[in-house]
Amino acid sequence: MFRVFQHRSSGTHFVELFADGLLCFIAALLSAATLASPLPGVSPLTQIITPTILLVAFSFALVMALLYSFVGLYRHRNLGLVPMVVRIGFAFLLGGYITYLTLKYISYDGYAGSLVGYSLVYLLVGLMLYRGVAWVVRQAVGTRRVLIVGTGPDARQVCTDLRAGGQWAGYDVVGFYPTTEQTDRAALRGAAHVFDARQKLVDLVREHRINEIIVAVREQRGGGVPMNDLLECRIGGVPIMDLAYFYERTKAEVPVDSLKASWLVYGDGFVQGHARELTKRLFDIVSSSVLLLLGAPVMLMTALMIKLDSPGPILYKQERVGLGGKGFMCIKFRSMRTDAEKDGVARWASKNDSRITRVGAFIRKTRIDELPQLFSVLRGEMSMVGPRPERPSFVAQLREQIPYYDLRHTVKPGLTGWAQVRYAYGASLEDARKKHQFDLYYVKNNSLLLDLQVLIETVSVVLFREGAH
C-alpha cells in the first residue's frame, strides 16, 4: 500500500522540498516576531502564533518550496553558480510577490511589504547556514571508497559517472578488479588503478577499506565474476550493486542492454495493483479537470492563432498505441502543415523540422499543443503521467529492435512522462532506446509521488526549454 505513495527517486526530492519548506516557515515566523511590538504581560511567542501569522507562514513555505521545484533546483545536481543564483533569485522575487498579494487578500493588519522583506532576508541567511552545515557534515563523513569489478567499457563508464559529481560527489573510485573479460589498460590509463586478479577480492576490500562494490560486467556466467568472494564481501557488510541497479540509482533509468528477464521477474517493482490504479485514476480526473479550467483561455487563444497562421484544421487527430497495445485517437493542436505526410509515410519529428508552422514551433516548445489530450485523460484513454504514446508503425519497428519495448504498454500513456523531463529531444532509434530506458524506470517505480515529481519537473522543462517534446 505504501508503494502507492512513494518510490526511491522521489524520496530525496520531497525530503529536500520539506526541509526547505520548513526553513521558509521558520523565516516567516521570525519576520513576524521582528515586526511585533512588545506588549506588557504578553509573551512574544503568543503574539506571533496566531491563525493569521500561521496562515501567512504556511503560504510562504508552500509557495517557495513549489517555486524551488518549478525552477529545477531539485532536478539539477550540477547547476553552476550563476544559473543557480538566477533561479533562486527568480523564485525569491515571484514567491515574495505572491506572498505579498496573499497578505493583501487576507487584509493583514501589519506592514505586508516589511513582513515579506524580512522573511526573504531570514530565508537567505537560513539557506546559507543550512547548506554550509550540510557541506561540513559531508566533509566530516568523508568519501565512500568504491571498487569496480570489471575492466570493460561498462566499468569505465561507471568510473566516469562516479567522478562526474552530483549525487555521487562523495564517492572515490579506488580501482578496478579484473575479470575474464579482456582488459584494455591503455583505455584505463589515468582512470584508476587496476588490481592483480590473483589477489583475493576479500583481501583487497579489507586492505583498501572498500565501502561499496559495483559489478560492471554484463555477462556474469562462466566463472568470470568471483561470486564466492563477492558473497563473502556481502556477508561482511559491504554493499554490492550490479549494472542495472547502479544505473537505476544514478540516472533513474533501466538499461535495456544489460537487462535480464530474471531481473524483471524476481526484482521488486513493476507492480500496479488496485490501490495504485484507483489513486492514479482519481489523480488524473482531479488534475486534468483543474488544468482544463485554468488552461481554457490559453486553448482558445491557441486555436485562434493556428487559424490565422496557416490553412487547415485547428486540431490534429492521430492513432497512437495505449494501454495493453490497444489503439486510440490522440488529439493535439495542429503544429505542422497539412501536407506534412502527404506521401502517407510516418516520420519522426526532428528538432528543427521544416514542416512545423510558426505558431506550431511556439506551441511545441511550450507544450501547449498537448493540452487537448487532457480530454483523453478525462476519458481514461491516457494518464497525466506515463510513457508518451507512439504511432502503430513506430511501435511495430521499435518492438523488433528494443528489448522489452511492450512493457511500456502495461501502464496508460501519459500527457508528460519521466523520459520527457529526463532526456533531451530525440528523433532516432538510439534516442527511442534511451527514452525507453527512462520509461522502464517509470513503469518499474511508478507511484503517486513520482507522478507529482514529473509534473513539477515538467514546469521546469517548459520554463527553461529543457527536455524533449
> Which letter does DSSP use for residue 387 in this model?
P
Report the chain's C-alpha Rg in angstroms.
26
The rounded percent of the chain whose pLDDT value lies above 90 is 28
Whole-number pLDDT of residue 388: 92
Model confidence over 358-404: pLDDT tens digits?
Answer: 888 888 888 899 999 999 999 999 999 999 999 998 899 999 899 88
Q: Residue 254: pLDDT band by 50, 70, 90 thresholds?
A: confident
Whole-number pLDDT of residue 469: 41
Which range among 83-97, 253-267, 279-293, 323-337 shows the weakest confidence by mean pLDDT?
253-267
Q: How far is CA 455 from CA 14, 105, 151, 461, in A?
A: 13, 28, 39, 10
216 has pLDDT over 90: no
344 has pLDDT over 80: no
DSSP letters for 170-228 = TEEEEEEE--SSPP-HHHHTTT-EEPPTTS-HHHHHHHTT--EEEE--S--TTTTS-HH
pTM for the full predicted model: 0.77
Q: Residue 351: pLDDT band by 50, 70, 90 thresholds?
A: low
Q: Is 105 exposed, middle or buried (0-12, 13-18, 19+ CB in 10 A)?
A: exposed
Grid cell at residue 422: 529526463
Tell me yes or no: is domain 144-251 CATH 3.40.50.20.
Answer: yes
Whole-number pLDDT of residue 5: 40
Q: Is 295 exposed, middle or buried (0-12, 13-18, 19+ CB in 10 A)?
A: middle
44 has pLDDT over 70: no
Q: What residues does each domain of the chain span?
A: 10-141, 144-251, 274-338+353-464
Model confidence over 70-117: pLDDT tens digits?
Answer: 887 876 556 677 888 888 898 999 999 988 888 887 777 677 888 899
* Most confident residue range from 47-61, 95-109, 111-125, 138-152: 111-125
